[in-house]
Amino acid sequence: CVLLTIPGLFVVTYFVPDEHKEGGSYEHVTGYLKKLDSIGHLMIVVDDNGTETVIDTRRIYDIDLR
């Protein structure tokens, strides 16, 4: 069991597979950690506008603390 604490603002870089062909792209989201589900492999990040982004934690490439 790993306890993850991300205080404040951070940037997550994660891979998004292409739905139509092999490959995909790397996306970035800046925000605050709302929820981390280690069993379901999900991270929910909320930005300053209140927009929530759900990220599969198995596809995270980098987390940059601000």
* Cα–Cα dist 52/31, whole Å: 9
pLDDT score at 11 = 96
Spans of the chain, pLDDT less than 50: 1
pLDDT score at 3 = 52
Q: Which residues contact 34 (CB under 8 A, 6 or more apart)?
A: 44, 45, 46, 52
- For the entire predicted model, the pTM comes to 0.83
Is 45 in contact with 32 (CB distance < 8 Å)? yes
Strand partners, 64: 11
